[in-house]
Structure 1
Amino acid sequence: MTWLTKITPDLSSRRARAAFSNAGELHRLLIDLASEHLGEETMPSPRQHAGILFRVDEARTGPVLLAQSHGRLAVDRLGDGFGQAAERDLAPFLAGLEKGREVRYRLAATPCKRLGKSEKNAERLGERARPGVNAYTRPLYGADAEQWWRERAERCGLELREVRSTGMGPALDPGRSGRRKVRLHMTRFDGYAVVTDPEAVRGAVVEGVGRGKSFGCGMLSLASAEW
């Protein structure tokens, strides 16, 4: 099962404003809403276990949180005054995807290039070399970011017919102590595509695309092109 939950916050609520203040807070909120599927024991990747992916879209009335999960989220845990929630089972739509079908897509991702872990690469990025780093990455912008998405879309079973890219604010997570300093550059991709491999597309929707999935990146949304 794959569920899509739409949460429209009431920004007069202090709790809602706090939750929407950064990507880390939204991640922690969604883990809490999925807690009944996670059990009581600590696990290494609760986000992955619950299938949580999310993205914040801007509507005319303000921000809207779209969250995807394997099971239904316990939206009643939001409490009174937080906002409104609606949910939809994506399984019928995903099961109906066929080769040759035209779809609209949206993806907010953090396009980047892996540089390796040498001190030179740290210097190139204006950083200090850090022990234990497996690889440094360089953010991609503009045409380079679009090329990153074209290459991944092909692996995800999509033939892109249109790509519109929009630079977004960074995904942030200062952590509860304020010392975490996660900052990921984000680009949103929109357009039309044709399904070339339905199984690969379903896998990309369920698993997400690229890095930063705990911070609001990687959720691939599809809709019928005629909608």
Structure 2
Amino acid sequence: MTWLTKITPDLSSRRARAAFANAGELHRLLIGLASTHLGEERMPSPRQHTGLLFRVDEGRSGPVLLAQSHDRLDLTRVGDGIGEAAERDLSSFLDGLEKGREVRYRLAAAPSKRLGKSEKNAERLGDRARAGVHAYTRPLYGADAEQWWRDRAGRHGLDLREVLSTGLGPALDQGGSGRRGVRLHMTRFDGHAVVSDPEAVRRAVVEGVGRGKSFGCGMLSLAPAEW
């Protein structure tokens, strides 16, 4: 199954503002809501195990958190001071996708180009060559970012008819406790597409697209074109 959860934060609450401070905090909040499906033993990739993807959209009155997961999140763990939550099962919509169906889509992603490991590439990115790094990545913007999405959309079963791209603020995690901080440059893609491979589309929705899935990137949302 595939569940979509919508959390509308109460930004007058200090707890909600702290949770929405950056992508890392949101990831930790959602992993906590999904933890009932993780068992007691620690696992290497809890996000992948729970199918957790998320994105922050701007609603009419402020930010809205959309989270997708294999199982229902335990909303009793949201507690007081975060905001209102609602959920629905996407399984029937995804199962009903057929070749030739027109859909609307939204994807917030971190388009990038993978570069080899070298001192020159590190300098080009304003970084230092680091031990243990096998490759560096360069963020893509504008037309390059749109081409990145066009290339992947075809492989993920979508024939794009329209692409509108919007540069977003970076996805951030401050790091700490010996962890390196994260900063991913995000672009949102909106438009219309025709389903060319229903199974590939379903897999892209469930698994996500691109990198940075633990930091609010990669969640592909679809809706009937007539909505």
User: TM-score band (shorter)?
Assistant: over 0.9
Runs ≥4 in structure 1, deviation > 6 angstroms?
none
Q: Deviations over 1:101-127 (max 9, x none)?
A: 000000000000001111211111111
Compute the TM-score of the two structures, normalised by the length of structure 1: 0.98
Q: Which residue of 2 aligns with 1:134?
A: 134
User: How many angstroms apart in 1 are the aligned matches of 2:83 and 2:22?
Assistant: 17
Q: Deviations over 1:150-199 (max 9, x none)?
A: 00000000000000000000000003559632000000000000000000
How far residue 80 of structure 1 moved from its aligned partner, in angstroms, is 2.1
Residue 107 of structure 1 aligns to a residue in which SS? strand
Deviates more, 1:74-83 or 1:37-46: 74-83
Q: Which residue of 2 aligns with 1:120?
A: 120
Q: Which residue of 2 aligns with 1:95?
A: 95
User: How many angstroms apart in 1 are the aligned matches of 2:194 and 2:40?
Assistant: 42
Deviates more, 1:16-25 or 1:172-181: 172-181
Identity %: 84
User: How many angstroms apart in 1 are the aligned matches of 2:22 and 2:117?
Assistant: 28
User: How many angstroms apart in 2 are the aligned matches of 1:18 and 1:200?
Assistant: 37
User: How many angstroms apart in 1 are the aligned matches of 2:143 and 2:112?
Assistant: 12
How far residue 55 of structure 1 moved from its aligned partner, in angstroms, is 0.1
Compute the TM-score of the two structures, normalised by the length of structure 2: 0.98
Q: Which residue of 2 aligns with 1:68?
A: 68
Residue 121 of structure 1 aligns to a residue in which SS? helix
- What one-letter code is carried by the residue in structure 2 that aligns with 1:196? S
Q: 2:27 matched to 1:59? A: no
Residue 168 of structure 2 aligns to a residue in which SS? strand
Deviates more, 1:150-159 or 1:113-122: 113-122
User: How many angstroms apart in 2 are the aligned matches of 1:184 and 1:212?
Assistant: 7
Residue 218 of structure 2 aligns to a residue in which SS? coil
Give yes or no for contact 2:14–2:81 (8 Å, CA) kept in 1: no
Distance change in 2, residues 1:56/1:128 (3 Å)? same
List alignment gaps of at least 5 residues for structure 2. Answer: none
User: How many angstroms apart in 2 are the aligned matches of 1:85 and 1:36?
Assistant: 18
Q: Which residue of 1 aligns with 2:81?
A: 81
